[in-house]
Amino acid sequence: MTGMKPAEIRAGIVGASGYTGAELLRLIDQHPAIVVEAASGASQAGQPIADLYPNLAPVVGTRVYDEYSADLFDGLDVVFVGLPHGLSMDVVPELIGRVGLIVDMGSDFRLNDAALYPKWYGADHTCPEFLNKAVYGLPELYRSALPGAELVAATGCNAAAASLTLAPFVASGLVDPGDLVINLITGVSGAGRPPKPNTTFCTVDENVSAYGLLSHRHTPEIEQTLSDIGNTTATVLFTPHLVPMNRGILASCYGRLQRSIDTESALQMMADFYNDSPFVLVDERSPSTKSVQGSNSVHLTVRIDPRTNRLLAIGVLDNLVKGASGMAIQCANLALGLPETTGLSRVGMFP
């Protein structure tokens, strides 16, 4: 974790005891330039990292979680913040100016409008002055804004899957931006490491449930991104479903066509849109979550249904990699002047 690497970039992780923090430690071990020098975990401070995550034992040895303090991260090149919603807004103001780059993996700086936070997150934003300083961390759509950034708000996992799947068709005006439907399934790790009544084994096993009906917090994030990309006002009906798998997201997205097109042309439109995006694969095959597991890739496809005058686009990604920690590293690579693919795999694990 602290071994010498060429051209070292000194990094810290706030919230390293959560799933996204652990995934950062795993991914950064493969990164040729980033070295983790501080890893705090408030609920696990002083406890051996390998006791909580035995898979990290070859990387962390006997290292324990650090107690958080802003001083711990002084002078680091990049700090990744992996905290639940509502907590990053207390930490980020303490770190700005003390570190080179902050990549927040939480939701506290993703929305441009502070007035949306009470409605969707149930509380006022405590430092709205930082919202216009944050670069939205979805490289495939905002790549040019990331170099030199000081604060990056990495995209939410559900929002990344839905936005990347629909963006080519909203941007081109092919679908009605006011009539978008997203049905999404997600693995249990998206709910985080701490146990919850709806994520216990007995609740999740052999069960599928819809949640966040009409109120999921990623809804305004998706609408903000698609509105921006399409220079329009996008409205989405977003319904996530929890399924009994560890990781992965599959988003089935529907839009009403505004002009005639066939499936072959829609596939080509999608491929052209992501021509310069190394982690996006556009394919005629229907994508599966297993194909992207452990990778930073997104697999996409699209179909046109003349009978209903609808477009169906499907996207899959690993919620802990491309949907969180891999996305954060990709953003950091771009912000720090490295190739965006550095230290990240495009190949999933199978079986």
- The confidence score (pLDDT) of residue 190 equals 82
Calculate what percentage of the chain has a pLDDT beyond 70. Answer: 98
**What domains does the chain contain, in order, with CATH numbers?**
9-133 (3.40.50.720), 158-319 (3.30.360.10)
Give the least confident one: 41-45, 101-105, 115-119, 151-155.
41-45
Tens digits of residue pLDDT in 227-266: 999 999 999 999 999 999 999 999 999 999 999 999 999 9
How far, in Å, CA of 338 to CA of 22, rounded?
23
How far, in Å, CA of 202 to CA of 204, rounded?
6
Q: What is the mean pLDDT of residues 166-170?
A: 98
User: Do residues 148 and 234 make contact, with C-beta atoms less than 8 angstroms apart?
Assistant: no
The question of whether 127 is a catalytic residue gets the answer no
Q: What is the mean pLDDT of residues 324-345?
A: 98
Calculate what percentage of the chain has a pLDDT beyond 90. Answer: 92
Query: Nearest CA to 76 among 32, 13, 143?
Result: 13
Check residue 323 and report its DSSP letter.
Answer: I
- The confidence score (pLDDT) of residue 198 equals 81
Contacts of 180 (CB under 8 A, 6+ apart): 166, 170, 226, 234, 235, 236, 237, 253, 254, 255
- The confidence score (pLDDT) of residue 1 equals 56
- The confidence score (pLDDT) of residue 161 equals 98
- The confidence score (pLDDT) of residue 269 equals 98
> Mean pLDDT over all residues of the chain?
95
User: Do residues 305 and 319 make contact, with C-beta atoms less than 8 angstroms apart?
Assistant: no
Q: How many residues does the chain have?
A: 351
- The confidence score (pLDDT) of residue 3 equals 57
Tens digits of residue pLDDT in 95-132: 999 999 999 999 999 999 999 999 999 999 999 999 99
pLDDT at 342 over 90: yes
CA dihedral (197, 191, 90, 48) positive or negative: positive
Q: Grade residue 37 by pLDDT with cuts at 50, 70 and 90.
A: very high
**Helix axes 157-171 and 263-273, enclosed angle (nearest 10):** 110
The residue annotated as part of the active site, out of 127, 157, 253, 331, is: 157
pTM of the model: 0.95
Contacts of 25 (CB under 8 A, 6+ apart): 1, 13, 16, 36, 39, 49, 53, 56, 59, 60
Q: Return the higher-pLDDT residue of 184 and 194.
A: 184
Q: Grade residue 66 by pLDDT with cuts at 50, 70 and 90.
A: very high
- The confidence score (pLDDT) of residue 113 equals 96
